[in-house]
Amino acid sequence: MKKIISVSLIIGTLLFAVTGCKDSVDTDETTEEFPVGYSAKYQLTYGESFKIGFSKLERISEVTVILEDSILQTWNNAPKISETSFDITSFGIGVKGLTIKVKDKSGKEFAENQTIRILSDIQPLAQTVKVISLYPHNTEDFTQGLEIVNGLLYEGTGDPNRMGATKVMQKQLKSGEVQKETALDAGYFGEGITILNNKLYQLTWTSQKCFVYDFPSLAKTDLSFSYTGEGWGLTNDGKYLIMSDGSERLYFRDPATFAIKKIIQVYDNAGPIKYLNELEYVDGIVYANVWMSNKIVAIEAETGKVLKSIDCMDLTLKAKGNGDVLNGIAFDHSAKKFYLTGKYWPQLAEVEFSNEQK
């Protein structure tokens, strides 16, 4: 990943009052104007109450406010509604669907849909990378996934030229010597890898297929999974596989079926963090490369809130050489050490994250 990508970004504060008929529907499928006026703040910070006020209620008998398919409140005496506040902290952060349903005194029903964006209430801690040691890395390896198990490095690669360079490999950590490898057919562009329950999982970019290998032999098994969308990064929390797709979302998947069990949206206090790439889970935190940047974000796995923003520019200057973008995070759980590299980089770096700014 990723040579060409088409992304539409919706940018704005979304702080406005709605009194028109945008996105409104009624049960008779007409194009009548939504009969109720309402105003609200549509971009909030986590912990902030959601407030909504109504007008033009004289002919209305019932109003219902729904957030993410959950009814917040229904009023049966609509003309007496005043501005109302709701505690929506249980809905977490990210974009949430809001629906206003009304019924007029003739019994006719109308509905209108909006969205609320909830930002994180945490200012991410700014950190930098301190390079401890540098080790050789093969400049022909387009790194897409990186893990360390029992002191050995496992790497998954991509194949921009579709020449059969997508592999999973077992390497000596400090020498980079390949001890085992298994390649995929030339049509596949490999993405993130992770190791769980004696299996190694490998995503593909656009083929919508996750391959499963025996671990530690790296023999390809007959088991594979299909999914919709793109595959980018992959890690696990010991129970679920955690997958990124280039958006601000992380998907928690059952390792036995690949079914989605939970989705979190990744936000800091300014907005969504998109292009989440290679992932590594450590003690409740998902570390993620942000594609086409020298930044790693540390994400609270339970909530999606960004806790740290790590500037890796110093590492890039020391280890990138003529390589491509930063991509590849591995944590040695035994030694408690982080290792970083990039696509086609000549170096693998042991690093520490520091609060000192350069």
> How many independent structural domains does the chain possess?
2
Bridge partners of 338, per DSSP, are 331, 351
Residue 350 structure tokens: 């042991």
**pLDDT grade, residue 2 (50/70/90)?**
low
Give the domain extent around 105.
17-119
Average pLDDT, the chain: 92
Last residue of a domain, one of 76, 100, 119: 119
Q: Do 298 and 164 belong together in one domain?
A: yes
Residue 320 structure tokens: 């990138």
Q: What is the pLDDT of residue 16?
A: 34
Asked which of 11-25, 87-101, 144-158, 340-354 is least confident by mean pLDDT, the reply is 11-25
| Residue 278 in domain | yes
Q: Do 186 and 330 belong together in one domain?
A: yes
Q: For 104-136, how does the pLDDT look when each residue is reduced to its tens digit (9 = 90+)?
A: 999 999 999 999 999 999 999 999 999 999 999
Q: Do 149 and 85 belong together in one domain?
A: no
Last residue of a domain, one of 104, 119, 134: 119
| Residue 11 in domain | no
Residue 29 has pLDDT above 70, yes or no: no
Last residue of a domain, one of 88, 119, 150: 119
Q: Do 152 and 287 belong together in one domain?
A: yes
Confirm if 274 and 246 have CB atoms less than 8 A apart. yes
- pLDDT cut 70: percent of the chain above it: 91
Asked which of 78-82, 295-299, 352-356 is least confident by mean pLDDT, the reply is 78-82
Q: Do 183 and 269 belong together in one domain?
A: yes
**pLDDT grade, residue 19 (50/70/90)?**
very low
Q: What is the pLDDT of residue 82?
A: 82
Q: Do 108 and 178 belong together in one domain?
A: no
Residue 5 has pLDDT above 70, yes or no: no
Residue 27 has pLDDT above 90, yes or no: no
Q: Do 177 and 218 belong together in one domain?
A: yes
Asked which of 30-34, 50-54, 206-210, 258-262 is least confident by mean pLDDT, the reply is 30-34
- pLDDT cut 90: percent of the chain above it: 88
> What CATH number did the domain enclosing 163 receive?
2.120.10.30
Residue 10 has pLDDT above 80, yes or no: no
The answer for residues whose C-beta is within 8 angstroms of residue 11's C-beta and 6 or more apart is: none
Find the mean pLDDT for residues 38-61: 95
Q: For 275-285, how does the pLDDT look when each residue is reduced to its tens digit (9 = 90+)?
A: 999 999 999 99
Q: What is the pLDDT of residue 79?
A: 76
Q: Do 74 and 152 belong together in one domain?
A: no
Q: Do 214 and 129 belong together in one domain?
A: yes
Q: For 201-242, how does the pLDDT look when each residue is reduced to its tens digit (9 = 90+)?
A: 999 999 999 999 999 999 999 999 999 999 999 999 999 999
165-168 long-range contacts, CB within 8 A, separation 24+: 165/140, 166/190, 166/204, 168/193, 168/200, 168/202, 168/213, 168/218
| Residue 219 in domain | yes
Q: Do 156 and 180 belong together in one domain?
A: yes
Q: Do 27 and 152 belong together in one domain?
A: no
| Residue 327 in domain | yes
Residue 82 structure tokens: 């005043």
| Residue 254 in domain | yes
The answer for residues whose C-beta is within 8 angstroms of residue 287's C-beta and 6 or more apart is: 279, 280, 281, 296, 297, 298, 299, 329, 331, 338
Residue 139 structure tokens: 């400049």
**Rounded distance, CA 69 to CA 96, Å?**
10
Q: Do 91 and 156 belong together in one domain?
A: no
Query: Before 124, cis peptide (omega within 30)?
Result: no
Q: Is the pTM of this model over 0.75?
A: yes
